[in-house]
Structure 1
Amino acid sequence: MKKLITATLLLACSATAVVAQGNEGYVFTPVKELKITPIQNQSRTGTCWCFSSLAFIESELIRMGKGEHNLSEMFIVNHSYRDKADRYVRLHGFLNFAQGGGFYDVLYGIKHYGLVPESVMPGLEYGEDIHVHGEMESAAAAYVEAIIKNKNGKLSTAWKKGFDGIIDAYLGKLPETFSYNNKQYTPMSFAKELGINADDYVSLTSYTHHPFYSSFALEIPDNWRWAESYNLPINEFMEVFDYSINNGYTIAWATDVSEVGFTRNGIGVMPDVETIETSGSDQDRWVGLSATEKNAELRKLVEKPIQELTITQEMRQKAYDNYQTTDDHGMQIYGIAKDQNGKKFYMVKNSWGTNSKYEGKWYVSEPFVAYKTMNIIVHKNAIPAAIRTKLGL
């Protein structure tokens, strides 16, 4: 997922029936709400992929009866930087080297490196109280670039140690052992006791440039591990969302949040702009407006119920092919709600802190999810049996 730096979010609201802008705004009522851990803040970093994946894993631990845990994102981020540097050098620099990543980076990390609690490795070793990764990224990127451009004709035996030193200086050294709840662990023994089997989780997507019911590596810059996703038709892809939530499984959700319908006030909708612009006397408000002015007007309109697009498979593919759908942000879907008109919305846990209208949670419509989802991670058992059979799972 691309870098998303947290904006300053305004206002706050209540929980059960959530109201926006008096009688004209949305009123949300949860229909099915699964347990999540407290909202975190990725702050000025591009590590949404890790925050959302571990939020998903933390909910899995609750579902499995393992209790509530706050897992360390920076333990996984540290390991991922090391692995990414190795691959970047092996590919002579032909790889996206940035803060972004994917859900599979966390699953790979759990399987190969384990887990540690947040209290063991908060990852703030550089004089900040909250995550700020710009300097670290620049230093790490400059280092690996220098390594591949060196004039010695071969790599030294010291370059990895030097790179690890940069990451450790910012995020802290990787713990070999630690104490948690009066018990000694290694990262691998801790992950084993938690009982998370990374192989139980799969990535799903829905695009037509690869055959349905096969798997392929999503062609996005942050998929640097070349992780594969199973490909489903859009109707079956959307079926997984409801089946998963209704059967007690949350979802790790990668999406494009650059759309005008994804607001900083906790709403994600896919407005039918063409119909809105040409509907009767409403045309008057659009005539002569610049693109920036139109966007400003639309941002006002999407704060209350609005007509949305009907999403097709072809629309999804066209937006992906034309760079109109990009891999911007990772979050966690944990429930289903209805607005005052009975329209379905998915309940989303974000990682931009709690200083927002819905205290760090978003409500995204079914059309938005159908159109702008890049991929999801779910437990195998969160997929309907008939679809699992088609995928050979």
Structure 2
Amino acid sequence: MNKTVAIFISLAFFACNQIWAQEVETQQKVFTTLVDLPVTSVKNQQSTGTCWSFATISFIESELLRLGNSKSDLSEMYIVRWAYSQKAKRYFHLHGKGNYSEGGQAHDVLNVVREHGFVPESVYSGNQYGSDFHIHKEMVESTKAMLDVIVTNPNRKVTPVWEESVNAVLDTYMGKTPKNFVLNGVEYTPVSYAKKMGFNADDYVELTSYADYSYYQTVDLEVPDNWSDDLYYNVQLNDLMAIINHALRNGFTVCWDGDVSEKGFSHRDGYAVLPATKAVDMSDSEIAKWENNLADNKGDTSSDNRELTVDENLRQVTFDNYETTDDHLMHLTGIVKDQNGTVYYKTKNSWADNSNEYGGYLNMSEAYVKLKTVAIMVHKDAIPSEIKKKLGL
């Protein structure tokens, strides 16, 4: 980029920030806590599209607290490393027609844990490429290029070392995953460590709510990052919200998958709302792209505090026209209300604890969650009994 242009953009961005700050200053919200569940510290996914691992590991860490363990710091990149291998194999089996990218879903974490367990952050950092922060673009693009050559079968037969070659590149960037490790004088394998902590991946389910699918059946949720074609329980919207509320009010946190590209989403200001006036979509959602769109995102809240009324039809329409996409995963850890009585869900993000003035958290309004939730993951016991019965759980 030309240096003069870069300086101009920086000054313009600063000016937009100042305008944005002035506009929201008069719209300050005051929140009262209703539910606030135990959590671990806010982490930073840095320059990666691995929110799915950070959100789900945060969720697991809260589950471990609920199960009576002390606070833990699990390695997100241990999960990511294994997931890349699994994605590569599926991409190969689909002759290069599948999804091989940084994105994923909450079940990707559970699928790794079932087979490979988990490890503390101190055991596996997942960064062997000399950077001060996680960045996967070069690694993913280079391994995808390898896979694209391999699946064209230039040798006229499958090369038996293709998988070893791809994994060698992943290991070069991220490091080999440990077979065992010592913690507090005790030797564990990743699987035995997860078992010792009392975590059972089979205790958790994912749920969604879309009218095009049969209700109270398992469905293959058709989003690109569901590359493994895992199944979700499809429930009616009222039941989806009932599950979220019942979980949080009974000590269970919720892993949330949804859309943060709405005009009413402001991580910087610590809340997300769904203004009654039509929201303007942004082009993407991870934090760097969100920052680049900040100038377009100004004035996101309606001064009269009105929000859209959300029903199943609106959810389906916005899903079908790509207004709602599975672009980010976060962790719901509590319930608050503002000075007007509007209910919000306290949300732990993975954009670092210094990414806003609220320690990396934000509050998403009930209307926002109703419309912009693509899916959730909860413990089976977090689901109200009458809904569990409908699902046959």
Normalising by structure 1, we get a TM-score of: 0.88
- Give the 5 Å matches for 1:188-337: 188-265=191-268, 266-273=270-277, 299-302=298-301, 306-337=305-336
Structure 1 SS opposite 2:199: coil
Residue 344 of structure 2 aligns to a residue whose secondary structure is strand
CA deviation vs aligned residue, 1:178-235 (integer Å, no higher than 9, x gap): 0112211111111110111111000011001111100111101110111111011101
Comparing 33-42 with 181-190, which one deviates more in the overlay? 181-190
Tell me the alpha carbon deviations over residues 126-150 of structure 1, each in whole angstroms, 9 at most, x when there is no partner: 0112111111111111111111123
1:45 corresponds to: 48
**What is the aligned partner in structure 1 of residue 350 from structure 2?**
351
Cross-structure match for 1:183:
186
**1:341: how far off?**
1.2
Structure 2 CA distance, aligned partners of 1:176 and 1:54? 20
SS in 2 for 1:334: strand
Mapped contact 1:124–1:170 kept (Cα < 8 A): yes
Determine if contact 1:88/1:97 at 8 Å carries over to the other structure: yes
What CA distance in whole angstroms lies between the structure 2 residues aligned with 1:93 and 1:151?
Answer: 14
2:65 corresponds to 1:81? no
Q: Distance in 1 between matches of 2:296 and 2:224?
A: 32
Counterpart code for 2:340: N
Following superposition, the deviation at residue 296 of structure 1 comes to 5.8
In the aligned structure 2, how far is the partner of 1:84 from the partner of 1:300?
A: 40
Equivalent AA in structure 1 for residue 377 of structure 2: I
Q: Which has the higher contact order (CA 8 A, sep 6+)?
A: 1
- 1:343 Cα offset (Å): 1.1
Tell me the distance in 2 between the aligned counterparts of 1:32 and 1:149: 54
Q: Does 1:132 align with 2:131?
A: no
Structure 1 moving runs of 4+ over 4 Å: 20-23, 295-298
Shift of residue 267 of structure 1?
1.4
Letter in 2 for 1:185: Y
Paired residue total: 359
Counterpart residue number, 2:75: 72
Matches within 5 A, 1:53-202: 53-202=56-205
Instruction: Report the secondary structure of 2:364's partner residue.
Output: strand
What is the Cα deviation at residue 66 of structure 1? 1.2
List runs of 5+ in structure 2 lacking aligned partners: 1-12, 280-293
- Confirm or deny: 8 A CA contact 1:25 1:303 kept in the other structure: no
How far, CA to CA, are the matches of 2:165 and 2:71 in structure 1? 37
Supply the AA of the counterpart residue of 2:119. V
> Within 2, Cα distance between the matches of 1:110 and 1:61?
14
- 1:30 aligns to 2:29 (yes or no): no
Three-state SS of the structure 2 residue aligned to 1:341 is coil
Q: Cα offset for 1:357?
A: 2.4
C-alpha displacement of 1:304? 6.6
Q: CA deviation at 1:38?
A: 0.3
Distance, in Å, in 2 between the alignment partners of 1:132 and 1:260 is 27
Q: Quick one: which amino acid aligns to residue 244 of structure 1?
A: A
Aligned-partner residue type, residue 116 of structure 2: Y
Q: Quick check: 1:255–1:327 contact (8 Å CA) kept in 2?
A: yes
1:357 alignment partner AA:
E
User: Taking structure 1 as reference, are residues 319 and 311 closer, same or farther at Cα in structure 2, changes over 3 Å only?
Assistant: same
Q: Are 1:240 and 1:383, in contact at CA under 8 Å, matched by a contact in 2?
A: yes
Cα distance in 2 for residues equivalent to 1:303 and 1:126: 46
Q: Distance in 2 between matches of 1:305 and 1:136?
A: 47
Looking at structure 2, the residues matched to 236 and 181 of structure 1 have their Cα atoms a distance apart, in angstroms, of 44
Number of the residue aligned with 2:376: 376
Judged with a 3 Å threshold, the aligned counterparts in structure 2 of structure 1 residues 305 and 184 are, in CA distance, closer, same or farther, namely: farther
CA distance in 1 between partners of 2:278 and 2:156 (Å): 58
SS of the residue corresponding to residue 331 of structure 1 reads strand
Residue type at the aligned position of 1:222: D
State the TM-score, normalized to the length of structure 2: 0.88
Q: What secondary structure does 1:302 align onto?
A: coil
Deviations 1:302-323 (A, max 9, x none): 2877210010100001111111
